[in-house]
Structure 1
Amino acid sequence: MKNPQAYTYIVINSDEKVPKIEVTNDLILKKDFLYFGPFINKSTVEKAILSLKKFNKILCMNPIKKNALCLNYSLGLCNGICQGHPTAVAQYNNSIKNIIALLNGTDRSMLEDMKEKMLQASEKFDFETASKYRDYLESINFIINKEKVIEFTEANKIIAVAEFLNDYSFKFFLIKGNKVLYSKKYSITSIKKLSSFIEKDILTCLKNVDSNESFKISKDEIDEAQIIYSYLKSSTSRHLIIPDHWLNPENHSLDREIKKLLMGDES
């Protein structure tokens, strides 16, 4: 974890006629470059990018050179962009756009296509091909989920969490970024009275907290963020994001939303 070389990014140069997707440890910010990360496990990221290139047939060995088909073209891993044909270039660039959409989380159709091909191969008892697509999905899902964790954590929102232990008690947390600001166990009595107590505890806890403080997650904090993200997404907890205007004592939204959270009617 102390090794700076363990800090990995996916970089796409969108300024070139033939954009490149690379995995790097050297983050050099440039205007026309797209960056995804950070990631810790470089080998898994490299495997995911290789899977995306193979699936989209853009694993070209000579994408810049013209009129010289590469070896990967004969293996079915290159669409022929190395020949310089306009159609191949357009297909290549479209694949890059689809990969960017996948990494941004705006279009997961590529994963659905992989799943469909995996199922089709299984039905034909072609388990070698099915296994290949399964490996593609595992490596790609790893980097997509890690990206979601980082994006969610760096949003640095104040989050209220309730986890019911039984019919009589629950744990309550306040989380910001990858830090637990407050935790307490409550006994369930009147929801109306209880929400008022919790509101006071929240306002006291957050009195000196800068809600607009910028936050960038470091590689040493990714595992903490992963634990918190997984916990919030678990079926055993309920949570809500507290916007700034709820922290005004004259605003009664916080009390109302806490009641909804405790009653299981979270938004």
Structure 2
Amino acid sequence: MNLQQKIKTLPSTPGVYLMKDSYGTILYVGKSKELKKRVQSYFRASTVHSPKIKRLVTHVSDLDHIETDTEFEAFLLEWELIQEYKPHYNRKMKSPQGFIYLAIPKKNREFRSLKITTQPMSSDRFHCFGPYTSRKTVVRAIEGFKDIFQFQCSHPNNKKSLCLNYSLGFCNGLCLGGVALEEYDLMLDMLISHLEHQDTRLIEHVKNRMESAAEKLEFEQAARYRNYQNILNSLFYKEEVIHFTEANHKLVIVEEIDEETGKVFIIKRTYVVYAEKFAFEDGLESLRGKIVEHLSSSSTNAPFQAVTKFEIDKAQIIYSYLNSGNCRFVILEDAWLEEENERILLEQLNELKSQKNA
């Protein structure tokens, strides 16, 4: 069967596809909720295809696929296959970068610059935020902070003359200190409070500027404020993924396959320890034994273990899916695994079932 015939016979189900060259080397691994539709999209002439996709398609001579019961399984299987085969066109996922941190000096110097570092900085001298997995996101956050508040000063410690960026409208006058430096410190303190989850003044300030620009029909400026607001919020997301994973949660996830059938997953941290299809009419009571069997041996508090570079992609898959609205889940407490708390665990499982009809 040639490539075009394989594409035509692909099922419209969740799964993973493996694109190969003429030597059988796996070039790319992808996943989809609907395999046939997704794979066909690669081979349709389109101006929206990235240069990477266009190059990939010219080298694809063969195709394999693996069906899964659910989209969540497709996400996890894709990750596993990328780790195993390390395809050339999945380079972004196969080579995760080290974690980085955003460090802001405490008020012990006149001008405080924002720094990117690969190691946490001394808490005596710096406010340190992270770890983050994307240097690009942190760089954009710093650049956006300087851009929208006009803090792009060429010589912030000069104090003698205005810099070139001041004449171009990029600098508020930091080069002379005084009121401009006070404004910079105020906004920097707002950024610190925002990243420490202490208040929302910075977001509100950016939002007010965005709304003001929109009222004046300055839509390009309003878009800049909106984009920066999104960048600030994305800094929270990376931290949340890591902290959630480090908590070593035990999860039960239920994903609907169709009106009558679902699939249940028991997960410890980032490991699926059990998965099984079930009929909704049968309920989840029989699942209690499986939960106890796979998790009770580790019911005591596990020692702290930092999220590794290797597992961060998988951690993000699980965390994102829990927040996608495409599944229902419960975080298990260790006490629920004890025999005397059987009723509590059953109530939690039945609650997962009842949410289907909510």
TM bucket, shorter chain: 0.7 to 0.9
Shift in alpha-carbon separation, 1:131–1:243, aligned structure 2, 3 A: same
Equivalent position of 1:143 in the other structure: 235
Runs of 4+ in structure 1 deviating by more than 6 angstroms, as ranges, are: 1-5
- Pick which of 156-165 and 55-64 moved more: 55-64
**CA 1:258–1:35: 2 relative to 1, 3 Å:** same
Secondary structure of the 1:250 match is helix
**Structure possessing the higher relative contact order (Cα contacts under 8 Å, 6 or more residues apart):** 1
Structure 1 position 6, deviation (Å): 5.1
Q: Which residue of 1 is the match for residue 33 of structure 2?
A: none
Q: 195, 204, 207: which one pairs with 2:296?
A: 207
Q: CA deviation at 1:48?
A: 1.5
1:13 aligns with 2:105: yes
Moved more, 105-114 or 149-158: 105-114
**Residue from 232, 237, 240 that aligns with 2:330:** 240
Shift of 1:39: 3.2
- Report the secondary structure of 2:213's partner residue: helix
Deviation at 1:126, TM superposition (A): 2.5
Partner secondary structure for residue 220 of structure 1: coil
TM-score (normalised: structure 2): 0.62
Residue 28 of structure 2 corresponds to: none
Structure 2 CA distance for aligned equivalents of residues 221 and 150 of structure 1: 10
Q: Secondary structure at the match of 1:216?
A: coil
Q: 1:1-267 residue pairs with structure 2 within 5 A? A: 7-14=99-106, 16-17=108-109, 18-24=111-117, 26-32=118-124, 33-66=126-159, 68-85=161-178, 88-191=180-283, 194-195=284-285, 197-209=286-298, 211-251=301-341, 252-264=343-355
Aligned equivalents of 1:94 and 1:135: distance in 2?
Answer: 21
- Contact 1:158–1:211 (Cα < 8 Å) also in 2: no
Q: More deviation in 228-237 or 255-264?
A: 255-264
Q: Per-residue deviation at 1:119?
A: 4.2
Q: Is the 8 A contact 2:99 2:309 kept in 1?
A: yes
Q: Is the 8 A contact 2:120 2:128 kept in 1?
A: no
Deviations 1:225-253 (A, max 9, x none): 22111110122211122122222221232
**Equivalenced residues, count:** 260
Secondary structure of 1:208 counterpart: helix
Shift in alpha-carbon separation, 1:73–1:148, aligned structure 2, 3 A: farther
In structure 2, stretches of 5+ residues that fail to align are 1-91
Deviation of 1:99 after TM superposition, in Å, equals 0.9
Question: Per-residue CA shift, 1:130-155, capped at 9, x if unaligned?
Answer: 34324423433433322222222222
TM-score, normalised with respect to structure 1: 0.80
1:159 and 1:106 mapped to 2: Cα distance?
29
AA of the residue aligned to 2:336: W
Contact 2:141–2:228 at 8 Å: present in 1 too?
A: yes
Contact 1:61 1:70 in 2 (8 A): yes
Residue 205 of structure 1 deviates from its aligned partner by 0.6
Structure-2 change in CA distance of 1:247 and 1:73 (3 Å): farther
Q: In structure 1, list runs of 5 or more residues that go unmatched.
A: none
SS of equivalent residue, structure 2 residue 184: helix
Q: Classify 1:178/1:97 alpha carbon distance in 2 versus 1 (closer, same or farther; 3 Å).
A: farther
CA gap 1:198/1:133 in 2 versus in 1, 3 angstroms: same
**Partner Cα separation in structure 2 for residue 243 and residue 212 of structure 1:** 13
Q: Give how far 1:52 is off.
A: 1.8
**SS of residue in 2 equivalent to 1:47:** helix
Q: Is the 8 A contact 1:177 1:215 kept in 2?
A: no
Secondary structure of the equivalent of 1:132? helix
